Amino acid sequence: MALPEFSPALPVPVMHIHSVDDRRALYDGGLSPAFPFTDTRVLHPPVEAMIGKWLVHNGCPGQPKVGETLRGKANAADASHAATRYTYAPCRNGTEVILWKLSGAGHVWPGGLQDYLPLLLGKSTTVIDANNEMWGFFARYRRDRAQ
């Protein structure tokens, strides 16, 4: 939805996982810091504005169902991290839009390889496992070839 001419014909189930502490892809939008040893910077749209576009496109309610905030395990490296699931549903054709809003984590794959390039990507997290969340989400949807 960040593309100016992007308008899918059908509603699209969406799951977005993003940390408010991501220093590479800024949650509130804006120009990212330059990549190391380059002048390359990326302009990111605000996450919630993009979610809002999907809500309108998919015909979702404006207010989400807010799930329980999950927290890192005590005495773990990510003990101070948190993740909250915001579910916008029901939407057109039975779709939904989900936002996992994390705090404490950097530009990392939640539940993935820990402490990978922390100076570049920020802190790793295990507060959720992105693989499991995505599989559970996409396993609920099917698009027939005829559509």
**Which of helix, strand or coil describes residue 17?**
strand
* 70-83 average pLDDT score: 95
The tokens 């530009």 sit on which residue?
107
**Rg of the chain taking only CA atoms, in angstroms:** 16
Q: Which domain holds residue 92?
A: 14-138
pLDDT at residue 145, as a whole number: 57
25-61 pLDDT, tens digit per residue, is: 999 999 999 988 899 999 999 999 999 999 999 999 9
Instruction: Specify if 1 maps to a domain.
Output: no
Q: What is the pLDDT of residue 146?
A: 52
Mean pLDDT throughout 3-7? 77
The pLDDT tens digits of the residues spanning 106-131 come to: 999 999 988 888 888 899 999 999 99
Q: What pLDDT is recorded for position 66?
A: 98
| Domain assignment present for 33 | yes
Q: Is residue 74 part of a domain?
A: yes
> How many domains is the chain built from?
1
**Residue 51 falls within a domain, yes or no?**
yes
Give residues with Cβ within 8 angstroms of 125, minimum separation 6: 19, 72, 78, 81, 83, 102, 104, 105, 108, 110, 111
